[in-house]
Amino acid sequence: MGKRTSYEPGTFSWIELSTTDPAGAKGFYGELFGWAAEDNPIPEEAGGGVYTMLKLNGESVAALYEQMKDQREAGIPPNWFSYVTVADADAAAARAKELGGAIHAGPFDVMTQGRMAVIADPTGAVFGVWQARDSIGATLVNDPGCLTMNELSTSDVPAATAFYEGLFGWRVEALDTGDAPPYWSIQHAGAARGLNGGMRELAPEQADAGVPPHWMPYFTAASLDEAIATTNGGGGTVHVGPIAIPSGWIAVVADPQAAIFGLFEGPVDD
């Protein structure tokens, strides 16, 4: 099992869903991944609302919350948001600015759980940095129903590469994809087998449709065909796939509220 008690700085460690329908999302992902939802009221001094922990076999795998009004009014769709562990959120935010990134929020404390900042890379892809205190993030990864990888779609691969290598010490390497579109692996010593994620060029049709550069999580599926059938049956949408890749099979889908995520069937690390 992919249990975790800590994460090395520079490693993806947590994901959360901002959704317009928390009840609907709980039902959809519960059916798809077997997640159990645990609602936690947020103190008024911390903004109020409910933060729902999503658990599998008693382990924390993700979270969701109702999308904030200002995000809805700005036209931001429901989305999955990825966090990278850092030793010092303040230092990471300062370094991100030096490298051409923008700080959208923070750094600030999340009660006693940790300290975070919301950052946009120079191409506009937004992510979080997480300085763990009481919470390390996900305590279970890679198993079916758990986060296994994060993928960046970007409008400028060289700019994104320079930024993330400078911020996290990642090593971005071009893969031999033959006649398929270019793809880059993201390597980091703190991640299992050194693999921390992937990077691709934003598809022209996405750019034409106004889709900005973004990070997207992939979840492991024991059976991709069954996961796709459950997605369709639960009101979700299949956008891409299934597609065979050297390590298995993938698909890109959306939940009923249109939050996009990936599915992967294939061998994973413990």
Split at pLDDT 50, 70, 90, the class of 269 is: confident
Q: Whole-angstrom Cα distance, residue 125 to residue 106?
A: 17
What is the pLDDT at residue 91? Answer: 97
Within 13 Å of residue 47, how many CA atoms lie on the same side as its CB? 13
The pLDDT, as a whole number, for residue 190 is 53
pLDDT at 208: 73
Q: Is 32 helix (H, G, I), strand (E, B) or coil?
A: helix
Measured CA angle at 21 (ends 16, 24), to 5 deg: 95
Of 31-45, 115-129, 248-262, which range is least confident?
A: 31-45
Q: What is the pLDDT of residues 180-190, one digit of tens each?
A: 788 899 988 75
Task: Out of 3.50.50.60, 3.40.1280.10, 3.40.50.2020, 3.10.180.10, select the CATH number for domain 12-132.
Answer: 3.10.180.10
- pLDDT of residue 44 exceeding 90, the answer is no
248 has a pLDDT exceeding 90: no
Question: Is the link from the previous residue into 41 a cis peptide, with omega within 30 of 0?
Answer: no
Place of tokens 């120079």: 122
Alpha carbon distance 250, 89 (integer Å): 33
Residue type, 83: Y
Q: Please report the pLDDT score of residue 46 as a whole number.
A: 66
pLDDT bin (cut points 50, 70, 90) of residue 74 is confident
Mean pLDDT over 226-238 rounds to: 95
Q: Rounded distance, CA 240 to CA 243, Å?
A: 8
Q: Is 254 exposed, middle or buried (0-12, 13-18, 19+ CB in 10 A)?
A: middle
Q: How confident is the model at residue 261 (pLDDT cuts 50, 70, 90)?
A: very high
Could you count the other beta carbons within 10 Å of the beta carbon of residue 101? 24
Q: Which of 16-30, 123-137, 216-230, 233-247 has the lowest mean pLDDT?
A: 233-247
Judged against a pLDDT cut of 80, whether residue 151 lies above it is answered with: yes
54 pLDDT band, cuts 50/70/90, is: very high
Q: Which pLDDT belongs to residue 179?
A: 79
Q: Which of 79, 75, 18 is nearest to 50 (CA)?
A: 18
CA distance 10 to 194: 11
Mean residue pLDDT of the chain comes to 91
Element (DSSP H or E) covering residue 158: helix 157-168
Contact call for residues 64 and 19 (beta carbons, < 8 A)? yes
Tell the CATH superfamily of the 147-265 domain: 2,3-Dihydroxybiphenyl 1,2-Dioxygenase, domain 1 (3.10.180.10)
Where along the chain do the CATH 3.10.180.10 domains lie? 12-132, 147-265
Query: Is the model's pLDDT at 211 over the cut of 70?
Result: yes
